Each structure stands twice: as structure tokens, then as C-alpha cells.
Amino acid sequence: MNSSPPPASTPTDLRRELGLFDSTMINVGTMIASAIFIVPATVSAALPGSAAATLVWVVGGAVSLLGALSIAELAAAYPEAGGQYAYLREAYHPALGFLYGWSNFAVINTASIAAIAVGFARYVGFFTHLSELAIRLVAVLSIVALTLLNCRGVRLGATTQNILTTLKMGALAALIVTSFGLHGGSTANLQPLWPAGPASHWIGPFGIAMVSVLWAYDGWIETTYVGSEIVDPGRNLPRSIILSTIIVIAFYVLASSAYLYALSPSGVAKSALVASDAAKVTIGAAGAAFVVVAILISTIGANNGIVLTAARIPYAMARDGLFFRSQAYVHPRYATPTVALLTQGAIASVLTLLGTYNQLILYVVFAQFVFYALSAGAVIRLRRSAPQIARPYRTWGYPVTPLVFIAFAAWLVYNTIVETPKDSAIGAGLILLGLPGYYYWRRRGAGGR
């Protein structure tokens, strides 16, 4: 291992208060949202065979793990606020880091917070009737509550995340155990194992299912955004990224298998709320209410993870002089980027009320994997351009691991552009709109490396 000192990090007033358990729970809690309760139906519709439907979750998890194994090296070498913003800045150019930060702050993270909050509010409506306006108001209230909670200290936000993530893991584990252990499911439901016809006929549908599965796994990088607040980041950051990904792979593969065991491939494919229908088979009428509670915990926990971590991106940009100076403000008592948190919450709330969040996500969703591919490429680039940097963790299987992940990410981006060329073009335009802002702040002479 190289013993050279790490690169000089951007100065920060944030405190290192998060341990391995905290950072792992941030990732697990962000990854497990509502997708595992719904997406298996999409997978089985594309791949009507239990073995094939399970395989896609295994492959999708393996691809995500390749990304985690790769980017964990950057997290250990550059334990800074902002995560990928810092990696892209160091490996390529400050402009690329800025465009990543801009797209996440202006669109990706804020629209994701809005979408998850609305999903949470709609499930609240399971227990009491809510009008469309009431749903949006409940969603906004959840955003405001999580924002204020995380303004009062990273320790409070992390403890909340630990509790919510533990609860959602317990609920998902209970759903898995009851599906396999109680009367109702059967090995006969697992037939057919593979879709009819030769393998060449379902390679295309496998790719379609893979897209949904990879989005379900998204979030394994979340803890890197709070790199400057993690204790012993050289050890805990890479461990948390890799460990959280492995935990979620296990949950997703077991949960998808449990649904198939309870409902059969055709039953899963026809289900609008697959987890609820599987629970009804084994638990009965109470199963639907149990799953709704699990989804409520999962969605609010996922949003808490995003609110906690995502505000560190504009904070890091502002500390570099590449964003509004106010975004770098840190509360003197709570040591949190309160202005960045409040701004993020305000934008997400406006998107919630306007109802534009889903369209924005559709426009820029492919951008996440563009930046993932660039970050994996940064591992290779920095090995060559900055060999003297201390690397407490080195990517397992280098250089094959990052290269395979880059190939999958490139395929996903290509497939998205081919399937939705107009939306992809609009998304690219929204991202490039950040360039004038970058040159404006550069001209002010406050930032840039």
C-alpha cells in the first residue's frame, strides 16, 4: 500500500461523527426504498420464469457490487464532502465535477426527494382518505420534517437512519420468512424456471428487466457524500459501501424469490403490488396493511438518507468557490450545512407541489450512470496521474472490475438514449445548463483548482 500522504482536502467545518454502522445504514436505508415491493412484477413480466427472474437480481447486484468495489477506492483516497463531485474534479476537470454537482442539486436529488415523499404520502392514504392536494401537502410536510431534523446534527440524522433502516430490514426479513415458512407458498409455484424458447429470445427482455433492477440497487454511493463526517474514512468508507451492497443483494434476491414462491412467475407479473399480494397469501388480509407499513418505513428512511447526504454536494461546491457562498454555511452549534439543507428542502417541496418531479427524473435518470462510469474511469485515471496518493483501499480485481462496470454503465446509458432519445436529449440539455454557472463562478476567481 502506498504510504504517501493523502491529497489536501477542501477545508470543512463538518465533524467526523459517523462510524461504520452509521455509514452502512445510510447506504442500506437509501437503497431499500419502495422498488423491491413493486419492481419484481416488472421483472417477471419481462422474464416469465422464476430462475430467470431471480438471475436478473443476482446479475444486477453483481454489477452494482463492481461499481461499489471500484468507487470505494476513490472514497478512501478522497474522504471529502460531496463524494463523486470531488472524484470527478480531481480526476478530470473542475467543470465536470461542477456539472455532476449541479445536476444532482438542481434536478436528480431534489426530484428524487419529491418523488419518494409523494410515494410515502400516497401510502399514508391506505389508512385514511387523502385528496390529491392533501397527498402533496403530506409529502411536503415529510420533506420539511426530515430537513429540520437533519439540520440539528448529523448524529441525530444518522441515528434516525439507523432506526428506520433496522425497522425496514426487519420488516423485509419478516416478509421473506413468512413467504417461505407459512402455508400458502409452494415449490410448484416456481415453475416454469426459464422462459419458453431458446435463450436468444429472452436476452433482450433480460436487458429490459436489468434496467429496472439496476435502478432498484441505486444508492450504494450515498455514504460518500458525507465522507468528511466519517470516522477513520480510509477504512470505514470502503467497508460501508461494499458491505451495504452485499446486504441489499441478499435481501433483494431472497425477497424476489419469496414472491415467486408465494405467487408463481405469472402471479408476480400480474400483480400491481407484488409484496402485498404475496403477504395476503401467507398472512391473510392483515398482510396488505403489514406491507404498507413496511413501505412507509422504507420510503421515509430512504428520503432521510438522501436529505442527510445530498446537501453535502452543494456545500462542497460552495467551499470550492463554485457555487453560492451561502451554501457553505455550517451551523456553529450543530455543525451541519443548514443553508444547503434548507435550500434543498425548499426546491424539493416546490417540485412536489408543482408535480414536475417524475418528468425531471425521466429526463436525467440516465445521467447517474454516465457519472458512475466516469467515476469508475477515475479509478484508472488517478492510478496513472496520481500514483503517489495514499490508497487505504485498492479496488479488488483491478483493472477488470472498473472496466466491466464501465461497460455495463455504458450499455445502460446507450439503451436509455435509444429507447427515449427525446427525454435523454432534454436531460443532457438540463445538465449542460450548468456550464454558464460554472464559468460565472470561475470568473469571480473564488474557486477552481
- What are the residue ranges spanned by the domains of the chain? 20-443
Q: pLDDT tens across 272-288, in order?
A: 788 888 888 888 888 88
Q: Specify the range with the lowest mean pLDDT, choosing from 33-47, 222-236, 337-351.
A: 33-47
What pLDDT score does 314 carry? Answer: 96
What pLDDT score does 70 carry? Answer: 94
CA torsion sign for 22, 253, 359, 94 is: positive
DSSP class per residue in 376-408: HHHHHHHHHH-TTS--SS--TTTTHHHHHHHHH
Q: How confident is the model at residue 63 (pLDDT cuts 50, 70, 90)?
A: very high
Q: What percent of the chain is modeled with pLDDT above 90?
A: 63
Whether the pLDDT of residue 24 is over 50: the answer is: yes
What pLDDT score does 215 carry? Answer: 81
C-alpha–C-alpha distance, residues 103 and 434, integer Å: 8
- Pick the closest to residue 413 from 381, 371, 377, 379 (CA basis): 371
Cβ-defined contacts of 428-432 (< 8 Å, 24+): 428/367, 430/103, 430/106, 430/107, 430/360, 430/363, 430/364, 431/99, 431/102, 431/103, 431/107, 431/364, 431/367, 432/99
Q: What percent of the chain is modeled with pLDDT above 70?
A: 96
Q: What is the mean pLDDT of the chain?
A: 89
Secondary structure of residue 183 in the 3-state scheme: strand
Q: How confident is the model at residue 449 (pLDDT cuts 50, 70, 90)?
A: very low
- What is 20-443's CATH number? 1.20.1740.10
Cis peptide bond N-terminal to 5, omega within 30: no
70 with 376: CB under 8 angstroms? yes
Whether the pLDDT of residue 165 is over 90: the answer is: yes
- The grid coordinates of residue 75 equal 472514497
DSSP class per residue in 263-283: H-HHHHHH-SSHHHHHHHHHT
- The grid coordinates of residue 339 equal 443553508
DSSP state of 446: S
Whether the pLDDT of residue 27 is over 90: the answer is: yes
Q: How confident is the model at residue 37 (pLDDT cuts 50, 70, 90)?
A: confident
What pLDDT score does 447 carry? Answer: 42
The DSSP bridge partners found for residue 185 are: 183
- The grid coordinates of residue 80 equal 471529502
What pLDDT score does 6 carry? Answer: 43
Average pLDDT over residues 347-354: 93
Q: pLDDT tens across 289-303, in order?
A: 898 999 999 999 999
Q: How confident is the model at residue 415 (pLDDT cuts 50, 70, 90)?
A: confident
Q: How confident is the model at residue 324 (pLDDT cuts 50, 70, 90)?
A: very high
Q: pLDDT tens across 121-138, in order?
A: 988 988 888 999 999 999
- Pick the closest to residue 249 from 172, 162, 310 (CA basis): 172
Rounded (5°) CA angle 345-96-406: 100
Q: How confident is the model at residue 8 (pLDDT cuts 50, 70, 90)?
A: very low
Q: 355 — alpha (psi -120 to 50), left (phi > 0) or beta?
A: left
What pLDDT score does 12 carry? Answer: 59
What pLDDT score does 445 carry? Answer: 62
Q: pLDDT tens across 226-277, in order?
A: 999 999 999 999 999 999 999 999 999 999 999 999 999 999 998 878 888 8
- Pick the closest to residue 149 from 37, 303, 290 (CA basis): 303
335 half-sphere exposure, CB direction, 13 A CA radius: 13
DSSP class per residue in 416-431: HHHH-HHHHHHHHHHH
Whether the pLDDT of residue 43 is over 70: the answer is: yes
